[in-house]
Structure 1
Amino acid sequence: MLSILITIYNYNLFPLVEELYSQCISCNIDFEILTQDDASNSTLNIENEKINSLPHCSFFVLKENVGYRENKNILVQKSKYDLLLILDGDCKIDNPNFIKNYLNSFENFDGVYGGRIHPEKPFSPKQTLRWKYGKFMEDQSIEQRNKSPYRSFLFNNTLIRKEIFNQVKFDNSFKKYGHDDTLFSFELKKINARLKHIENPVIHDDIDSNIVFYNKTKHSLENLFFLYTTNKIDTNHSKMITLFEKLKLYYLVKPISLIYSVLNPIIEKNLTGNNPKLFWFNVFRLGYFCKLASK
Structure 2
Amino acid sequence: MKLSICIPVYNFDVRKLVFDLKKEIDSQGIEAEIILIDDASDTAFKLTNGELRSQVKKLVFLEENIGRSRIRNLFLQYSSGEYLLFLDCDVKIAGENFLQNYLSEINRNPDIELLYGSFAIDPQYASTLRNIYSVEREIFFGSRSDDFSLFKTVNFVISKKVFERFPFNETMTKYGYEDFVFAKLLERNEIKFLAMNNPVIHVDDTNNDIFLSKAEIGMGSLFRLSKDPQNSTFIKDIKVYKAALILKRFGFISLFLSIYKVFEKKIRTNLLSKDPSIRYFDFYKLAVLVRKMK
Establish whether TM, by shorter chain, passes 0.5.
Answer: yes
Alpha-carbon distance in 1 for matches of 2:181, 2:53:
33
Report if aligned partners of 1:254, 1:290 keep a CA contact under 8 Å in 2: no
Look up the equivalent residue of 2:37 and give its one-letter code: Q
RMSD: 2.0
Is structure 2 residue 276 aligned with structure 1 residue 273? no
Residue 133 of structure 1: aligned partner: 133
Aligned to 2:168: 170
1:4-28 deviations in Å (ceiling 9; x for gaps): 0001211000100111111122332
Which of 104, 110, 114 is equivalent to 2:113? 110
Q: How big is each residue's C-alpha offset from its partner over 1:58-98, in whole Å with a ceiling of 9 and x where there is no partner?
A: 32211111111111111222111121001100111121010
2:15–2:49 Cα contact (<8 Å) kept? yes
Change beyond 3 A, Cα 1:252–1:207: same
Quote the Cα distance in structure 2 between the aligned partners of 1:73 and 1:228: 24
- Structure 2 CA distance for aligned equivalents of residues 94 and 9 of structure 1: 21
Larger deviation, residues 191-200 vs 282-291: 282-291
> Which of 153, 158, 161 lines up with 2:159 in the alignment?
161
User: Of residues 178, 186, 189 in structure 2, which corresponds to 1:188?
Assistant: 186
For residue 230 of structure 1, the aligned residue among 225, 228, 232 is 228
Partners of 2:257 and 2:227 in 1: how far apart?
17
> What SS does the corresponding residue of 1:34 show, helix, strand or coil?
strand
Q: Is the 8 A contact 1:183 1:233 kept in 2?
A: no
The residue number in structure 2 matching 1:14 is 15
3-state DSSP of counterpart to 1:211: helix
Distance in 1 between the 2:89 and 2:189 partners? 28
* Aligned equivalent of 2:32: 31
Establish whether residue 71 from structure 1 lines up as the match of residue 71 from structure 2.
Answer: yes
Deviation by residue 1:215-270 (Cα, 9 ceiling, x = unmatched): 00000111112222213242444222233334444433332233233433332233
In structure 2, what is the Cα distance between the partners aligned to 1:293 and 1:257?
12
Q: State the distance in 2 between where 1:261 and 1:20 align.
A: 49
Report SS of the residue matched to 1:130.
helix
Conserved 8 A contact 1:86-1:155: yes
Q: Which sections of structure 1, spanning at least 5 residues, go unmatched?
A: none
Counterpart mapping for 1:52-63 below 5 A:
52-54=53-55, 56-63=56-63
How big is the shift at 1:137? 2.1
Quick one: distance in 2 between partners of 1:50 and 1:121?
27
The alpha-carbon distance between structure 1 residues 237 and 78, as it changes in their structure 2 partners (threshold 3 A), is farther
Letter in 2 for 1:113: Y
The answer to whether the 8 Å contact 2:5/2:84 transfers is: yes
Structure-to-structure mapping, 1:254-269, within 5 angstroms = 254-269=254-269
Query: 2:104 matched to 1:101?
Result: no
Residues 36, 71 of structure 1: 8 Å contact kept: yes
> Is contact 1:4-1:85 (8 Å) kept?
yes
Contact 1:8 1:35 in 2 (8 A): yes
The residue number in structure 2 matching 1:119 is 122
Q: Matched residues in 1 for 2:43 and 2:268: separation?
A: 30
The aligned runs of 1:197-236 (5 Å cut-off) are 197-231=195-229, 232-234=231-233, 235-236=235-236
Q: Distance in 1 between matches of 2:16 and 2:155?
A: 17
Aligned pairs for 1:75-90 (under 5 A) are 75-90=75-90
Does the aligned pair in 2 maintain the 1:36–1:60 contact within 8 Å? yes
Structure 2: give runs of 5+ residues left out of the alignment: none
SS class of match (1:290):
helix
**Matched residue SS, 1:267:** helix
Q: Give the letter for the 2:187 counterpart.
A: K
CA distance in 2, matches of 1:237, 1:48: 40
